[in-house]
């Protein structure tokens, strides 16, 4: 276990191998909450140092202090041998510290290139040098190995593509310290491998990388050391090679977590509750057909742009279909808008929960009943507050949502609790089929287990569950069958217990054909 050095003079520090960045005794308080208490951390040149902990452990707060978003109430930051205090992100960037935030921080109406070099555009006199701007942006994107048009408006990109733009933006700063907060949360396995190659190149160039991720299994490929925080406190620092994922998890949650996935209680039957036939939308997907059986969790797997999310959105009525039919409990549906889908009993839990799943500034109770206001209204169209309160408390209890009050603004809750609120919203609507799009993105291992358990319970009750996930271990751990997408088509529907990651990737890459 690493113990931070204290009280060394500059000459002694130099001899001892002063870290690139060191934090001593960092404490941060917000009104009524101590987010960090006496936290220690250091980062060496050319290493990847992971920071792990459950949601609310203080990881993001610590990173925001390093990057100048917040200022600590106590403690000190030593950067390149000098004590520093950053009053803003611009100040930390100027010093050579860049951060890739978990929450995307892009301007939708600007182009990819304009976002990458926002406020740093190359100029020719008083004018922006558009040619150089595009060329520089393309160079950053090529470094990541992604095919994104630098002139494309950000609003036209998928969440995964936006994540790659955020990463390209950070790389463009040529930082000495790069903080990555859940950088792979919306990336496919192939994109993650490309990112890891970039990380290795940065390590070789002497860049220090702080890496925050809930995907502990992937860390073995790139992480040198790992620091664990719990409840805003420093727990331990270890060489990653000298510890185990189980030991890290035990330190994160304060207990052993033997199983990542719950024992399945739902059993698929032959009763088909949902059927899609010949779904086509020009340029995005074509001739997509699948069935969903009672008691089953069906997985959608595939690389970015394969069509998984696009199909779910079209079924939900968020995007139009050119051709195809959707049948629920034997009835062919006519869906031209989300309102039609919701009325029929179909729900879609977006991968971007804050932008498309929640009213984050509103309280828990308002979000919980948002999709079914008729149920908590009286005959005159006014809210029956007794019904409203009871419904919210029932689902808060049912889903074990941690909130100090049903009046708590949703934005102040952890990612796992926010996801549970979205699930509760659709359960209160009495949905018959739920499409979960990346439901565990950016949430910790304990919260993931709780979401998995809810999904299994829903399937056991006869509610149709479709899991869209870029994490193959999650797909294999939670589904009964998996429909694999490639280039807008389903290339195979595999029985999960008879397949593995390699076979799924063959279908996802187009190297295998459906029987």
CA distance 398 to 431: 16
User: What pLDDT, on the 0 to 100 scale, is given for residue 512?
Assistant: 63
Mean pLDDT, range 142-169, rounded to an integer: 88
pLDDT at 306 over 50: yes
Write down the pLDDT at residue 515.
43
Over 90: is that where the pLDDT of 81 sits? Answer: yes
Tens digit of pLDDT for each residue in 99-131? 987 667 899 999 999 999 998 999 999 999 999
The rounded mean pLDDT for the chain is: 87
Percent of the chain predicted with pLDDT > 90: 50
Structure tokens at 299: 């997985």
Q: What is the pLDDT of residues 471-484, one digit of tens each?
A: 888 899 999 999 99
Name the β-bridge partners of 78: 22, 83
Q: Is 221 left (phi over 0), alpha (psi -120 to 50) or beta?
A: alpha
Q: What confidence tier does 231 reach under pLDDT thresholds 50, 70, 90?
A: confident
**Span 178-199, mean pLDDT?**
83
Specify the pairing of strand 323-328 against strand 331-333: antiparallel
The reported pLDDT for the residue numbered 4 is 37
| Predicted pLDDT at 259 | 67
DSSP secondary structure letter of residue 422: H
Burial label for 130, CB within 10 Å (0-12, 13-18, 19+), is: middle
Sign of CA dihedral 198, 203, 204, 206: positive
- Pick the more confident residue, 247 or 62: 62
Is the predicted pLDDT of residue 514 greater than 50, yes or no? no
Bridge-based pairing of strands 82-84 and 97-100 is unpaired
> How confident is residue 9, by pLDDT bands cut at 50, 70 and 90?
very low
Q: Provide the pLDDT confidence category of residue 63 given band limits of 50, 70 and 90.
A: very high
Q: Which of 416, 438, 263, 433 is nearest to 350 (CA)?
A: 438
Lookup: tokens for 248: 């890290």
Tell me the percentage of the chain whose pLDDT exceeds 70. Answer: 93
Instruction: Dump pLDDT digits (tens) for 379-421.
Output: 777 888 888 888 889 888 888 888 888 898 888 887 778 888 8
Domains in the chain and their CATH numbers? 1-96+178-184+207-255 (3.40.50.300), 102-174 (no CATH), 259-345+432-515 (3.40.50.300), 355-430 (no CATH)
Tokens encoding 190 = 């192939």
Q: Which residue has tokens 């408390």?
A: 393
Q: What is the mean pLDDT of residues 65-80?
A: 95
**Helix/strand/coil for 161:** helix
- For the record, the structure tokens of 231 come out as 């409840």
**15: pLDDT strictly greater than 90:** no
Q: What is the pLDDT of residues 323-346, one digit of tens each?
A: 999 999 999 999 999 999 999 999
* The CA-based dihedral angle spanning residues 85, 88, 91, 96, taken in that order and rounded to the nearest 10 degrees: 80
The larger pLDDT score, comparing residue 29 to residue 288, is at 288
């Amino acid at each position: 276990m690493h113990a931070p050095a204290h009280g060394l003079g500059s000459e002694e520090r130099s001899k001892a191998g002063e870290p690139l960045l060191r934090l001593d005794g960092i404490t941060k308080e917000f009104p009524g909450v101590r987010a960090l208490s006496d936290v220690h951390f250091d980062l060496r040149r050319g290493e990847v140092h992971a920071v792990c902990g459950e949601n609310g452990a203080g990881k993001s707060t610590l990173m925001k202090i390093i990057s100048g978003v917040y200022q600590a109430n106590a403690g000190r930051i030593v950067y390149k041998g000098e004590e520093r205090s950053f009053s803003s992100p611009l100040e930390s960037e100027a010093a050579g510290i860049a951060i890739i935030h978990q929450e995307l921080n892009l301007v939708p109406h600007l182009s990819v290139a304009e976002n990458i070099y926002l406020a740093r555009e190359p100029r020719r006199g008083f004018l922006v040098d558009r040619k150089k701007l595009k060329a520089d942006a393309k160079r950053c994107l090529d470094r990541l190995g992604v095919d994104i048009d630098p002139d494309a408006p950000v609003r036209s990109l998928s969440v995964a593509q936006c994540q790659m733009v955020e990463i390209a933006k950070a790389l463009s700063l040529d930082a000495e310290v790069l903080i990555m907060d859940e950088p792979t949360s919306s990336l496919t396995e192939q994109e993650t491998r490309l990112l890891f190659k970039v990380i290795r190149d940065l390590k070789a160039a002497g860049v220090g990388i702080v890496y925050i991720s809930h995907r502990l299994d992937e860390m073995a490929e790139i992480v040198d050391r790992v620091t664990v925080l719990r409840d805003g406190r420093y727990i331990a620092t270890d060489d990653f090679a000298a510890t185990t994922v189980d030991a890290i998890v035990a330190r994160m949650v304060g207990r052993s977590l033997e199983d990542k996935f719950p024992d399945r209680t739902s059993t698929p039957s032959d009763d088909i509750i949902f059927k899609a036939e010949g779904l086509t939308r020009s340029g995005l997907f074509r001739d997509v057909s699948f069935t969903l059986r009672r008691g089953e969790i069906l997985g959608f797997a595939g690389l970015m742009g394969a069509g998984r999310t696009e199909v779910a959105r079209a079924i939900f009525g968020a995007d139009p279909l050119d051709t195809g039919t959707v049948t629920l409990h034997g009835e062919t549906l006519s869906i031209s808008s989300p309102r039609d889908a919701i009325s029929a009993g179909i729900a879609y839990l977006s991968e971007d929960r804050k932008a498309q799943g929640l009213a984050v500034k509103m309280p828990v109770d308002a979000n919980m009943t948002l999709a079914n206001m008729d149920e908590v209204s009286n005959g005159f169209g006014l809210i029956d507050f007794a019904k409203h309160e009871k419904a919210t408390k029932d689902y808060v209890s049912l889903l074990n949502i941690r909130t100090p009050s049903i009046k708590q603004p949703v934005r102040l809750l952890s990612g796992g609790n926010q996801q549970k609120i979205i699930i509760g919203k659709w359960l209160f609507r009495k949905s018959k089929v739920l499409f979960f799009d990346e439901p565990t993105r950016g949430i910790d291992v304990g919260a993931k287990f709780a979401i998995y358990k809810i999904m299994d319970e829903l399937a056991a009750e006869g509610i149709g569950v479709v899991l869209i996930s870029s994490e193959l271990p999650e797909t294999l751990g939670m589904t009964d069958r998996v429909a694999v997408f490639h280039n807008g088509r389903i290339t195979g529907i595999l029985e999960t217990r008879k397949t593995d990651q390699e076979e799924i990737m063959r279908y996802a890459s187009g190297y295998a054909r459906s029987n």
